A and B are shown apart, each in its own frame.
Chain A
Amino acid sequence: MVLELRDICKDYMRGKLVVPVLKDINLNVSEGEYIAIMGPSGSGKTTLMNLIGCLDRPTSGKRILKGEDLDGISDDRMADIRNRQIGFVFQNADLLPGLTALDNVALPLVYRGVKKKERRTRAAEMLQRVGLGERMEFKPNQLSGGQCQRVAIARAMVGNPSLLLADEPTGALDTQSGQQVLELFHNLNADGVTIIMITHAPEVACCAQKTYLIRDGRIQIGETV
């Protein structure tokens, strides 16, 4: 099992009012799975992603990632887990504009203390894998939106994470680039990568093996297409 969520609740404080966002979430994700989490905006799917991605702490409940209990760990430990176990892909590629594609991809390895030469080799391999081997020295503003998103996927994958977390990865792309990105996810999954994708678009979710629905803070299994 890569990820286990047990009775996860998350409340937000709005002034003095306690607003529950997630209620009793239970979720198991096993090795090599490709799941999609769907839900209308405001349903709490991004909050769930933040909890899975170790960006936030739940109000109650238990999270176990790769056998490690994430209860009460320090900020620095959370940063290390994000760095080693999680690969993030956001709606906007969020590349650093001053760095080349290669350096952007290598960035997570910097935080891991990998030597420069090895960083570049591994980042180059990853860029080859997402089909951008020819554009390693390009800056983000010289790349198309779809290409940027593929660089971002390479960045997420460069550290061999246990889990690839994608939040609306095609949300800002045209249909064709979106299709390419989804193909890439499919190929990565075929190579054994565990993927959790958050989206509101059914046509995107249908690429996954399993679909979950979040409604009013509760999760339920969705119909597979």
Chain B
Amino acid sequence: MFENIGLSFQGIWNHKLRSLLTMLGIIIGIASIIAIVSTIKGTNEQIKEQLIGAGNNVVTVRLCQGASNPYDMQYSPIPDGVPVISEETREQLAELDGAVNASLYTERTYVEGLVYRGNTAFTGSLRGVDTHYFPVNGYQVYLGRGFSQADYDNYKKVAMLDQSAAQSIFPGENPLGQVIEINKEPFTVVGVVAMSSSYEPNISTVEEYWTFVGNDSGAVYVPNTMWPLLCQYDEPQKVDIQAASTDDMTNVGKNAADLINERLTVSQDSELSYSSTDIMEQAEQLQQLANATNQQLIWIASISLLVGGIGVMNIMLVTVTERTREIGLKKAIGARKSRILWQFLTEAAVLTSLGGLIGVLAGIGMAQVVSRVSGSPTAISAPAALVAVLFSMVIGILFGLMPAIKAANLNPIEALRRE
């Protein structure tokens, strides 16, 4: 057995160019599959990281109508039976199992009336936030200062921006101390916040766009005590709850929604209830989407494996013909059929396994190049590499079978007569 393998390597080495050309189909097929698998794995890890890891483990619980349509204050009146969430309830939410902190805020996801120097300058979201909002969401003051208790108590017209809002309203300017008009009320910018762990969302699908749209066009923050001046009293609040770990997010979100829903006095027909945005679920959906696309790519790459296998069969048939005399001689000096069969099967399997191995290395290389060029990350999957090499071996055995049987069944007399 080992001698067969050794002899096969020798044979491959003796016909370097031919062996390489034969392996090419396998190499290309395996390399593309490994590259695709690495990219899928990298993308999946990136999606998870962006949605969950960098998000400070925050679950948002918001009022929904029906299954999961957020109740939109832009177009709808204040709903009946949805009370303001008290500070007491907020403390209860923050003390839920697996929760770290909770923040109440009101939000308009699209603002038209934000004006700077006479121009509508911004179309991101506007949020009236409490004192817990920035720590919960992992924001840190980056420029200027945060909201003080005095700002809340004295109804100061002060605003804070996140970085993308600061960039779109004040390109190239220092935003601190500038006055912006929100719904005709002047607000002084006192600070800019930034994510403590910086991350760049990578948007390539519509779903991802909607996931990131809130963050992407930025947000302007005012103390929640100032909200009635801009919008209405008693608008339904949203709750951001920071979970202790990613695994707690789903449970904390569900429990928080239940706790708030107990306090609702809405009628059955209104279909109003609080529910959590299950970010884990979102991540999985995005991953599935990416997987589905890439699965198709894998099928396409498999075709080149098929072509490679046929190439191996072809060359093995040529080899059997070329080595007819050798086969005849081996049979004459006492090699049984099964031995000849195994010899050729081993040769085919060694050839394709070697091709698979080279393919894996080439695929890892390709994945690295793709990641350099497109900036999408890759992650090498060791099991995938192992499966790829084993699979190429199986291809060798499968496509080597026919030539090997042909060799084993050669009549030694005929074979010895051939020159």
Contacts and interface: CB of A to CB of B under 8 A. Distances in A.
A55 interface: yes
Q: Which range holds the interface residue count of chain A? A: 20 to 34
B337 A75 contact: yes
B337 A111 contact: no
B333 A83 contact: yes
Interface string B1-20: 00100010011001000000
Contacts of B335: 79, 83, 111
Contacts of B3: 110
Interface in B320-361: 325-326, 329-339
Interface string B394-417: 000000000000000000110010
Contacts of A53: 332
A112 B334 contact: yes
Given A50-B413, A110-B3, A80 B334 contact: yes
Q: Which range holds the interface residue count of chain B? A: 20 to 34
B363 to A, nearest CB: 32
Contact of B334 (A50, A90, A111): A111
B413 A108 contact: no
A50 B414 CA distance: 11
A36 B169 CA distance: 109
B49 to A, nearest CB: 54
A68 interface: no
A100 B336 CA distance: 22
A76 B338 CA distance: 9
A56 B7 CA distance: 29
Nearest to B419: A92
A155 interface: yes
Contacts of A112: 334
Contacts of B336: 75-76, 79-80, 111
Contact of B413 (A55, A79, A155, A156): A55
A55 B336 CA distance: 12
A90 B328 CA distance: 12
Contacts of A155: 333
Contact of A82 (B14, B333, B337): B333
Given A94-B325, A98-B14, A83 B334 contact: yes
B413 A56 contact: yes
Contacts of B337: 75-76, 79
From DSSP, what is the main secondary structure of chain A's interface residues? helix
Among A79, A98, A156: residue with most chain B CB under 10 A: A79
A75 B332 CA distance: 12
Nearest to A75: B337
A108 B333 CA distance: 6
A19 interface: no
A88 B413 contact: no
Given A50-B413, A56-B413, A79-B336, A94 B329 contact: yes
A107 interface: yes
Nearest to B7: A98
Interface in A106-143: 107-108, 110-112
B332 A88 contact: yes
A223 B381 CA distance: 79
A84 B336 CA distance: 13
A135 to B, nearest CB: 20
Nearest to B339: A111
A94 B333 CA distance: 11
A41 to B, nearest CB: 13
Interface in A68-99: 75-76, 79-80, 82-84, 88, 90, 94, 96, 98
A117 to B, nearest CB: 14
A224 to B, nearest CB: 30
A98 B11 contact: yes
Nearest to A79: B336
Nearest to B334: A83
Q: Which 3 A-B pairs have the closest CB atoms?
A: A83-B334, A111-B334, A79-B336
Interface of B: 3, 7, 10-11, 14, 325-326, 329-339, 412-413, 416
Given A79-B334, A83-B333, A156-B333, 13 more contacts: A55-B331, A55-B412, A55-B416, A76-B338, A83-B334, A83-B335, A84-B334, A90-B332, A94-B326, A98-B7, A107-B330, A111-B333, A112-B334
7 contacts: A55-B331, A79-B335, A79-B336, A83-B335, A110-B3, A111-B336, A155-B333
